[in-house]
Structure 1
């Protein structure tokens, strides 16, 4: 790149970073706070929480990055137009490629980053996050139950302990089990312990209160009683890998014996086509921004703010792509409309930018339509405003 292109590239990159970091931080903090129960409910250390937060970051980067590209390119080009830099570039006879090359080069680089994160880093982080959560909740009683606090272990199963002593010994146990629709069970015990595998709770010197639906209550005193937790521990201690947790190689050639794949094969199909299209969003959003701001224009023109227009088109584009991918996931659509939409919209934007660059239309197609709509609205609203003023 020449000196001018390097200058434009630097300005766009700085604006891109300035847009990416705060937006990414806000969304990241919001997502992380949604997992704060990992600390409050499970008694885990802040280190486990920080590890989980780190795992969540790669999931957000490919989503936020294209919008940061749109903001960076649009804001930079609009600022250059306000400072008459675009007019100077046109007057100097510089090629339009001088303006278009820097944002497109940045977008291509970010496409490579997005593809790498989406297909290689994100599946690993998702897998690690699920393993962390599963390991946290695997030991249901010896580590996750706080003293003198009711904790929900499963739907209809609550546990409280009065004191935790050295080892895996618990004192003052109270267990309420209403998972069986025919009766409710309440267990009291002076002392108990969880075996090392976390599959059995052994209670000593206690009572069982069994209440039927008709109100009949039976009380049984025991010296020792074993409460089975093996199914519950196994279910919560095992991480289920979904389509979003798999790498690109698994999606290209899924294991037919995978349990989740056998249950929801369309999820893997939709995820594959999403991975093959989402990585191109930085280029698409850069084209949207160039279509809105790639030509110099007078400050006296009545125009919609280019940043609002660019983000609006970007959000609509993202929503349509998400909708088409969801149709594949739900088994009601084929993947080819997703690719057709991607190719058609990018081709349309390239044509609009080419018209502006060759001066077939001084302004790009979409901004021209928006500006003409605003001008028409102004002509319609002006007489009405005049009549109201006369009154």
Structure 2
């Protein structure tokens, strides 16, 4: 595909708009998320470097989610600008068909889809995994150096920690309550303990203590005494999906923290997989379908605004229609992702939604005048009630 001066001109406008929107939207959302992590500095005694590292590891997920929307908004902006400056009218008058103008947008869309695919398939799970490991390190440092004598503090949601006093590097009189599983809460009591690192995991080595477990389903309890017990801090996760296990087991990564290859070659006999099979399925297909949405969103914008429009009202209604369509697709995709946790059939919708949108939008662009007539009738019918209300308001 040979690029001419017109293609480069349109591509420059759309690309600059996409980058500005992507950076702007990502920065705003990142700041709001970063403010929620200020407790790392104020409450858990971490450095500014750790604070920024934790918040920056969430950027791949933000970029993967925001990039399709930024591309859609940039496409609307570019087409509206070309139309407002009468450039689309001139192009049409000189015989440039609307579908010919899709070339620069397709180049930008394929680049955006590649970015989203790379983020979703590779970078995002690596970021979540690194974040999990970093939080483990923060938790171990918090237990060893930040928690003060005699205080009851929350290590995670449902996990309360306390120790009586410190003797060198050892903590004396340890008490920990784990209520993450409401049906089987546990209480750990030990005379002393000390944090340690092994195989990339952080452990709290407990000495001379007991573990009391309650089973509320059976209304029973059990007490286990131990001389030495390794409590894996990496397994303490505040999430409610059951990841991480406990009792010193090896840390278990959640579906979003596993590589795409690991999800594709998942061991069906893994106990955690048997419990959370739906989450594994939803996570895998959400990653694989993610690159389709930038293509769908761009084609929706182009199908609605790709041809010259001479009335401002027509453009405004067309833009509103495009926003409604993209919003409906995004909500439908989120609903399909949620439903796919419980139903394997819902996985199909993750692909059907963008593919049907791509097919319909591409057909409207390809058939040109006929599709434009249908779209104009639709926008006119949507605009008619608002125009009637406006006319009545002016007469009154």
Q: Place the TM-score, normalised by the shorter chain, in its bin.
A: 0.7 to 0.9
Aligned to 2:200: none
Q: How does 1:204-353 map to 2 (within 5 A)?
A: 230-231=230-231, 233=233, 235-236=235-236, 239-299=251-311, 301-304=313-316, 306-331=318-343, 333-353=345-365
Tell me by how many angstroms 1:37 deviates.
3.0
Q: 1:265 to 1:148 in 2, by over 3 A?
A: closer
Is this contact kept in 1: 2:296–2:355, CA < 8 A? no
Aligned to 1:374: 383
Residue 169 (structure 2) pairs with residue 168 (structure 1): yes
RMSD: 3.6
Aligned to 2:162: 159
CA distance in 2, matches of 1:31, 1:377: 38
Return 5+ residue gaps in structure 1 as ranges.
204-225
CA distance in 2, matches of 1:265, 1:104: 37
Residue 201 (structure 2) pairs with residue 199 (structure 1): no
CA distance in 1, matches of 2:255, 2:195: 35
Is this contact kept in 2: 1:291–1:364, CA < 8 A? no
Aligned to 2:76: 74
Structure with the larger RCO, 1 or 2 (CA within 8 Å, 6+ apart): 1
SS at match of 2:58: helix
Is this contact kept in 2: 1:193–1:202, CA < 8 A? no
Tell me by how many angstroms 1:368 deviates.
4.3
The partner residue of 2:35 within 20, 30, 33 is 33
Q: How does 1:183-198 map to 2 (within 5 A)?
A: 194=194, 196=196, 198=204
How many aligned positions are there? Answer: 356
Which range is displaced more, 24-33 or 228-237? 228-237
SS at match of 2:154: strand
Tell me by how many angstroms 1:250 deviates.
2.0
User: Could you tell me the TM-score, scaled by structure 1's length?
Assistant: 0.78
CA distance in 1, matches of 2:260, 2:123: 11
The partner residue of 1:360 within 352, 370, 377 is 370
CA distance in 2, matches of 1:200, 1:170: 9
Is this contact kept in 1: 2:234–2:251, CA < 8 A? no
Return 5+ residue gaps in structure 2 as ranges.
197-202, 210-225, 237-247
Which range is displaced more, 133-142 or 13-22? 133-142
User: Could you tell me the TM-score, scaled by structure 2's length?
Assistant: 0.77
